[in-house]
Amino acid sequence: MSLFNNDEVKIIAEKCGFKNYDTLQYEIQNYSEELVGYLGEHLRLFLKVNSHDRVLFVKCVPRYDEYKADYLRKTGFFRKEYVLLSSLFTQFIKREGSSKWRPEVIHLKDEVFVFEDVTKIGYALSDSRKPFSYEEVVATVKAVAKFHADSLIYEYNKTQQLKRPYYIWEDYKEYLFEPVKAQPWRDTGCKGVIDILRIYSAYKDTPNFQSVANVVTDLFNRATKSMQPSRKHRNVVVHRDVWSNNVFFKELEDGSTHALLVDFQTAVYTIPTHDLATLLFLNTTKKFRSVFTNKMVDIYYMCLSDILNDAGVNILEFFDKKALSKAYEDSVVFGITQAALVLPIANMPEFIKNKYCRSGNDEFDAISRSHCFIESLESDEQYRETILELFDDIVERFVLPSLNSYK
C-alpha cells in the first residue's frame, strides 16, 4: 500500500530544503520492531536527494490492522490530531530551539503525517518501564507549560482582535472532546483496576472493602466528566496522555534536559492541571509525588508566567498561583485514574503484549483485560510493584476514606 505518490515525495523534499536536484529516491521502513504506539502505525521515510540523505518520521492509520484502523476512524482520534496540526497549531507562535514543545511538521494528509525525526538530532524516549528522572520530569513540566501558554496567548490575542472574549472551544469543540465510542475502553480499564484491587490490594481485608467497586467506578465517572471544559477554572488545549511514549528527551549543551511532546490524538479542552497530574501519576513514584508535587506546580507556574510575559500577557489574566494549586487538587482524580488506565498496559512484559495487544481486538479493548494484568502481576515483579503502588495509592486517597459510606 503506497503512502505517497511521486509528486508528494517531491513536495516533502522541497519542505526539507531540497530545491534543485538531479535525483530523488525514497524508501519507507518500519520505525521499530517494537510497538511504539497503539493509536497509529509508525514508519521512517528515507529520502536520498543527490548525495544528501534525510530521515523523517511517518505516522499513519494502521494499514494492515483493520480493527485498529476502524477504531481510529470511529473515535475520530486521527482526525482530531490532523485538525490540530494543520489548523490550530499553525496559528500558534512558531517556536525554535529550546522553546519548542513539539517536533516540526513536514507534511500532512488526512491519515498520514510526516514529521522531523527528532531521534536524528539527539532526542530519545525514556524506558517506559522506569519512572522519569527528576530532570526529565522538570523538562516535561516545562514542555507542557509551553504548550498551554500557546493556547492562552492565542486566546488572548483573538480576544483583543475580536474585542470580545474568545475561547478555542468556540472553533474546535467538534474535535476537543472525549468521544463516546472510546468509553468502553475506559470502562474495561476501570473493571481491571477493581479486579486487581480485590485480589492484590494490601487493604483487601479492610472491613467493607467489597465496596471498592462502587468507589472506583465513581472515581472513573468523575474523571470522564472532568474532561469537559471547566466552568470553575480556565481551560486550555490539554494533551491528556503525557506518558513515556509521548515524550522525547535530549540533553542540551548546558547540561539541562529538553522535552518534546508528541501524539495529540486524545487532546481535550479542559483545565491545564490535568496534564500536570497525568504526567506525575504516569511517570513518577508515589515517593516522588509526595516530595516534589508542589515544586512541580511551582515550576509549571513560573515557566508559564515567563512565556506569557514574553508575549506581553500577564498570567493573572487567567489565574494566580493559589487558583492553580486548587486546580491541581481538582485534577488528581483524573491524573490517577488516567495512570491506572495506561500504566498496566504500557508496563506489560513484552511476551504478554505480544500475546494480547499487538493486534487490536474487542476483547482487550471493550470486554476484559483483567486476565492480562493478572498474568503480568504473577510473572513480573517490577510490574507488580509499579502497578500495585499506583492502585493502592487510589485506595489510600479515595477508597479507605469512603468505605463507611457504602456499608
Residue-wise pLDDT for 86-134, tens only, equals 999 999 999 999 999 999 999 999 999 999 999 999 999 999 899 999 9
Residue-wise pLDDT for 155-178, tens only, equals 999 999 999 999 999 999 999 999
Position 35 scores a pLDDT of 43
Look up the pTM and report it.
0.95
Position 21 scores a pLDDT of 82
Residue range 325-345: mean pLDDT, rounded: 97
* CB-based contacts of 10-18 (< 8 A; 24+ apart in sequence): 11/107, 12/45, 12/47, 12/56, 12/106, 12/107, 12/114, 13/47, 13/49, 13/54, 15/106, 15/107, 16/47, 16/49, 16/54, 16/56, 16/106, 18/47, 18/49, 18/52, 18/54
The answer for 208, left when phi > 0, alpha when psi is -120 to 50, beta otherwise, is left
The dihedral through the CA atoms of 312, 316, 318, 320 has a sign that is positive
Position 319 scores a pLDDT of 94
pLDDT surpasses 80 at 359: no
Nearest to 347 by CA among 370, 371, 380: 380
Whole-number percent of the chain with pLDDT over 70 = 96
Domains present along the chain, CATH in parentheses: 1-68+103-121 (no CATH), 69-102+122-403 (3.90.1200)
3-state DSSP assignment of residue 105: strand
Nearest to 218 by CA among 337, 87, 381, 97: 337
Position 189 scores a pLDDT of 95
